[in-house]
Amino acid sequence: MQQTTTPTPSGARFRYVLAILISGILLAAITGVIVYRRSGLSVSAQVPMFVAPSNELGWKQDLHYMTAEIPRRHINAFHTLTRAQFDRVVSELDSAIPTLDKDQIVVGLMRITTMLGDGHTRIAIPPNFHSFPLEAYWFGNTLRVTKVAPQYRRALGTRVVQIEDTSIEDAYKAIRTLIPQGENDLWVRRFSPLFLVCAELLHGLRILPIANRGRYMFEDDTGNRFWVDLEPLPESQREADELRWLSAAKIEPLYMQQPNKDVWFSYLEANQTVFFKFNRAPGYWDFYRFSQRLLEVMDHRPVRRLVIDLRHNRGGDFTKIRWLFLPKLVERRYRRQCFACPREINRPSHLYVVIGRETYSAGVMNALELRDEASALLVGEPTGGRPNAYGEDRSFTLPNSHLVVSVSTRYYRLVQENTASLLPDQEIDLSWPDFLVGRDPVLEWVLAQPEDP
């Protein structure tokens, strides 16, 4: 008779606990909770308020804590500068703290993180910092006001010429020191307009004499120059306040609509085109249901093109596209409506991916996967993010000022050549005249491409 062994209670309990742990790990991996599966400029749900330490001892404690934690937490803190260079800059700030005000010390701390040379290593702007109520965008070498609060409508559409006594060119050079030094010029172009309206940063750089007022010089299209005194508002209030701002664009092009939605799509019936705007990855089940709805449209409507727009995708969880959408897309290569067919000589693509200066981190990774695995044609600007880059940032809070510092914990090597950007197959820039009338030259170019015979 065959002898059987009854598991002991302790053995059964061990296997039960092990099964729960494995299930939890798998669930976390699927939902993107596991930290090494995430990449991007993630922002903490609750960034604490900045508190200026009351004395130099508090500031020095924060400096020493930060500069001890960065090398400990970063996967390779000294990939851009040496340890000796790092220690020298830290020592210089430590000596200068008694002579600096709070904004100058914050700028000094930010410079240390940006010298490390990757965009995921940085200090977050606190919600109780302030910014002036305008938006600007670099069109070539010209910084234009694209949105503004109603009381400053005179500045709308003008060129920014000067801030107090500093030319915009010199202000831009100063602001660059607060943007990670290892990133490319388009990333600086993307983020410098945000910093050029931040009152505390401009004051810390000694561009503004005081932080609660800013005097800007603008130039209109007739060459007339004029000054406007701007009053800042808290960063925490800015997003809600922007809803009533005036825009220089007469109409919003399709890709600028619904900016606060993670994902959305529109079926362009006249062109038989699906336009999929992917700003950031939502939760697992939300993206699963969204993907199903999108694929159903592709399966049941006449669709000649799929356009995936990553222009505003600054990262997050790169696995959602990889696991939930890309395999389904590639399956369709064998169907009559062949969205992901390998590109052949003299045959147009059915799949277009739009990239730009704000495409970063996980956004770059998704663009690469769609290009390499689904034969997508990349159009637009070069990306603001590098294909080979440090990422998976983790944050810690300084004990006295409550500034939040993030550091990179992984390095991704996605391409052989270490290029500054992922380059589009077809480069198309947005001009100021295009912006004014609400044109999208990228989508227009895609829709004008010939179809298969």
Calpha distance 161→169 (Å, rounded) = 8
SS3 130: strand
Calpha distance 134→132 (Å, rounded) = 6
Q: How distant, in Å, are the alpha carbons of 35, 281, 291, 348 from that of 286? A: 19, 9, 9, 32
pLDDT of 439 reads 97
What is the reported pTM? 0.87
CB 377 within 8 Å of CB 425:
yes
Q: How many residues does the chain have?
A: 453
Q: Residue 316: phi, psi to the nearest 5?
A: 135, -120
Which parts of the chain register pLDDT below 50?
Answer: 1-45, 334, 336, 345-346
Q: How distant, in Å, are the alpha carbons of 265, 280, 398 from that of 71? A: 43, 30, 15
pLDDT of 347 reads 58
pLDDT of 11 reads 45
Q: Which two tokens stand for residue 431?
A: 């001009």
Q: How many CB atoms lie within 10 A of CB 15?
A: 11
What string of DSSP letters covers 86-128? HHHHHHHHHHHGGG--HHHHHHHHHHHHHHT--TTSEEPPPTT
Q: Is 147 left (phi over 0), alpha (psi -120 to 50) or beta?
A: beta
Q: How many CB atoms lie within 10 A of CB 63?
A: 22
Calpha distance 139→146 (Å, rounded) = 11
Residue type, 57: L
pLDDT of 452 reads 65
Q: How many CB atoms lie within 10 A of CB 235?
A: 19
Beta bridge partners, 194, equal none
pLDDT of 44 reads 39
Q: Residue 128: phi, psi to the nearest 5?
A: -100, 15
Calpha distance 450→453 (Å, rounded) = 9
pLDDT of 378 reads 97
pLDDT of 14 reads 38
Q: How many CB atoms lie within 10 A of CB 190?
A: 23
Kind and range of the H or E run holding 353: strand 351-355
pLDDT of 400 reads 98
Kind and range of the H or E run holding 143: strand 142-148
